[in-house]
Amino acid sequence: MRRAMLLIGLLPTLGGCATHLALRDDTVRTSNTLTDLLYQQALDNVARFHDDPDTVPSFAVTSAGTVAVNDQTGAGVSPTYAPTLPFSLQGGGALPILTLLFPFSAQRTAAENWSLTPVTDADNLRRLRCAYRLLVMSEAAPNYEFCVKQMKEFFAGEEAALADYYPPRGWYGVGCKKDIPKDACYVGCHGCTYVWVTAEGRNDLALFTMGALDLATGKMRTPQRTVVRTYKGEPKPENLVETKVTTTEDDEEALEAIRKGRTRPPNRPRITEPAPFNPGLLFLPRP
């Protein structure tokens, strides 16, 4: 009786629809953690630079993810025949010679993961480092003007005028663990240094995190133009064939127009390649 009740209770949860619902819910919950991961990386790096302004940021970009739900069920019949059992041991016929057992098994496995690509490009790390240094150091610090120039050049074509605004300042608190207020929404730490963001600083945290992600993945690209130069052969008397040399150079006129705000540069290419085909995101229902 107990096995029958257990079977009845588990059947609704192990049907095909239940597996699809579990996959949908797990996918939504997993994707919701992406923003938290980015916020945590940003705040942990802010704490790191408060500990040591001369350090290098540690940042990884999420490139792919997997969510998989697999349900397995099994049922069968296990007859047991005992012809040698005497009638007296059958309890007056209460215990039949033929015994039928109905074994049942059920199992659910779930797997969720993110694939991370660490930022190792020196140019991207240099600009990302400048963004964090501008948060923690004063205008009198070494390389301050260099970092400001780096931000203005990178964000020169943004419609939001981030060139003069990024990175925003004054949106977080810093101190020891005991200094964290109870209304803190996000907390980051490095060693004994803690930084936190309250409700008033959430918008600036979002802007800083998106800018940091852009710095971590975007390669600066200046406008280019193709220049063809034609020569009458190599500078040798015996070689008089015509030679064409094609080079690619920076378009200084377009750069000057960008600096004066008359036009925008093309979108920056990203170092993160499209996520490959992931069979873990597929689910094959059983008939």
Question: Where does 171-242 show beta strands of DSSP type E?
Answer: 173-175, 186-190, 193-197, 224-231
162 falls within a domain: yes
69 contacts 193 by C-beta, under 8 angstroms: no
189 falls within a domain: yes
Q: What integer pLDDT is reported at residue 237 of this predicted model?
A: 47
Does 130 share its domain with 92? yes
Domain's final residue, options 220, 243, 258: 220
Domain's final residue, options 194, 220, 246: 220
Does 229 share its domain with 95? no
148 falls within a domain: yes
Does 95 share its domain with 177? yes
Does 144 share its domain with 133? yes
Number of domains in the chain: 2
Does 51 share its domain with 191? yes
36 falls within a domain: yes
Does 61 share its domain with 133? yes
Does 174 share its domain with 257? no
Does 96 share its domain with 226? no
Does 230 share its domain with 193? no
211 falls within a domain: yes
170 falls within a domain: yes
Q: Which of 65, 41, 82, 67 is nearest to 190 (CA)?
A: 41
pTM over 0.75: no
Does 177 share its domain with 248? no
- The DSSP secondary structure of 162-187, one letter per residue, reads TTTTPSP-S--EEE-GGG--TT-SEE
Domain that holds residue 258: 222-270
Compute the C-alpha angle 180/185/188, nearest 5°: 60
Does 62 share its domain with 125? yes
How many other C-beta atoms are found inside a 10 Å radius of the C-beta of residue 75? 11
Residue pLDDT tens, the chain, 287 long? 454 444 445 555 555 567 788 888 888 888 888 999 999 999 999 999 999 988 999 999 888 888 888 777 776 666 665 555 555 555 555 555 555 566 667 777 888 888 888 888 888 899 999 999 998 888 888 888 888 888 887 877 665 667 667 888 889 999 999 999 999 999 999 999 999 999 999 999 999 998 899 888 876 655 556 666 666 656 554 554 555 556 666 667 776 776 666 555 555 565 555 445 444 444 444 44
Token output for 11: 């059947």
276 falls within a domain: no
Does 170 share its domain with 262? no
Domain's final residue, options 199, 220, 241: 220
